[in-house]
Amino acid sequence: MKVRPRIFLIIVATVAIIAAGMLLWAPYLPRLVQEGFPAPVWPAAGSFADVAGTADLDESPAGRSDISSFDQQLQQLLAERDAKAFLAAENGRITIEHYAEGGDAQTLFNSYSLIKSLVGALIIKAVSEGRIANLDEPVGTYLQQLGDAQLRAVPVGAFLNMRSGVLLETGTAKTLSGAPVKDLESSFANPFGPLVRLHMQGLDGVSDDLTSDPEERDRFNYQNINTALLGALLEQVYGQPLQDILSDKLWRPAGAAPAHWRTYDEGGPTSPYCCLYARARDWIKVALFLSNNGAADNAFLPQPLWREFMGMQYTDTQLRTGQYGQHVRHDILDRNGQALQGRFTYFLGRGGQIVYLMPERGLVVVRFGEGLQLLHSTLYATWRTLHPAN
């Protein structure tokens, strides 16, 4: 059937009007199509800021890499959950270093939400330096133009603990220790949704929607907007871009190599909740730095603040149900018959990116891949690999 020229022109005009309207409502759509969902490894599409690292890379020898020498359960976990990189360090030395085919020690992996925990550490650092008076201070003391009065009255600590009452993303809140059910990936299904607008336009793209529901305060609700606001807060109190704050306070002191952090747009602020591309080895270094509270002659935090950041205020009973505080998670190993016991802190990212810290055992573990890995079993199997006699 032939389409008459007049009808064809009407169709074309209608499509053009709709397209123009979509671009007017969401001018970031072409960039969203070009960038797509954040890639798991570098290089990646989008805009990035450099995080300066140390130029003097004193690389330790590679750890055990032959997966056939690992504990059988660890072999199974790495294979079934599609691990791309798996590293462990004990007492400051890398003892396990395994990469799946196509990856190596120089591969830059996407942190996804792991970076949130470093933003949390920087907030505590800012408190220790007097840049933030205390965690009970209203966020509006520092971000005077952001959101409405209800939002500006919320204490800084409430954003740090994901209990701010900010309602931006929809859907069920993430549990503390279970599989995440709401994340950046699922939100991409709606390119006009608030999280995608935040991801593409930064806080300016969602500022009209920012408020805090008093009835939702003190209720755990994992929202990327909390970290986005904390990133803006850090830039305000330090007067520096977030990538420079991370480099100066944590990344370079830990001895990490240069990295790339996604920005909302070219030359704009970083997206604090996602997408730092760095080597797995550098995450080991940062984990060791935080686990040891900095260097021997230069503590990262005063001891009371460090102990709180590491969750040492929680009882063993509290840890058995999992705890979230200051943008990090805490749990406990107490399974009968296992040689490794005790508390641990961990950072968690989309798809099972994870960093474990066990200061009392001098152990840190880093894993990148696809698919959540069993939280406790991974540590048990790692310890058996390191100490087969136990």
Exposed, middle or buried by CB within 10 Å (0-12, 13-18, 19+), for 18? exposed
**Mean pLDDT (whole number) for 281-290:** 97
Distance CA 369, CA 353 (A): 6
**Mean pLDDT (whole number) for 213-234:** 94
Residues 67 and 15 in one domain: no
pLDDT attached to residue 269: 97
Residues 210 and 165 in one domain: yes
Distance CA 187, CA 199 (A): 10
pLDDT attached to residue 143: 96
**Containing structural domain, residue 249:** 47-386
pLDDT attached to residue 390: 65
CATH code: domain of residue 187: 3.40.710.10
- How many other CB atoms sit within 10 Å of the CB of residue 237? 20
Residues 296 and 329 in one domain: yes
How many domains does the structure of the chain reveal? 2
**Mean pLDDT (whole number) for 149-165:** 96
Residues 27 and 59 in one domain: no
Examine the pLDDT at 20 and tell me if it is beyond 60.
no
H helices, E strands: number in the chain = 14, 13
17: phi then psi, degrees, rounded to nearest 5: -65, -45
Q: Which one is predicted more confidently, 199 or 209?
A: 199
pLDDT attached to residue 324: 97
CB-based contacts of 145, cutoff 8 Å, min separation 6: none
Examine the pLDDT at 309 and tell me if it is beyond 50.
yes
pLDDT attached to residue 59: 63
Examine the pLDDT at 89 and tell me if it is beyond 90.
yes
Mean pLDDT of the chain, nearest integer: 89
Residues 240 and 351 in one domain: yes
Measuring CA to CA, which residue among 274, 142, 144, 147 is closest to residue 203?
Answer: 147
pLDDT attached to residue 180: 45
List of E strands, the chain: 47-51, 83-90, 93-99, 108-110, 259-263, 276-279, 294-295, 298-299, 323-325, 328-333, 342-349, 353-358, 363-369
Contact 104, 111 (CB under 8 A): no
Residues 16 and 163 in one domain: no
Residues 146 and 281 in one domain: yes
193 confidence band (pLDDT: 50, 70, 90): confident
Q: Which one is predicted more confidently, 67 or 317?
A: 317
pTM of the model: 0.91
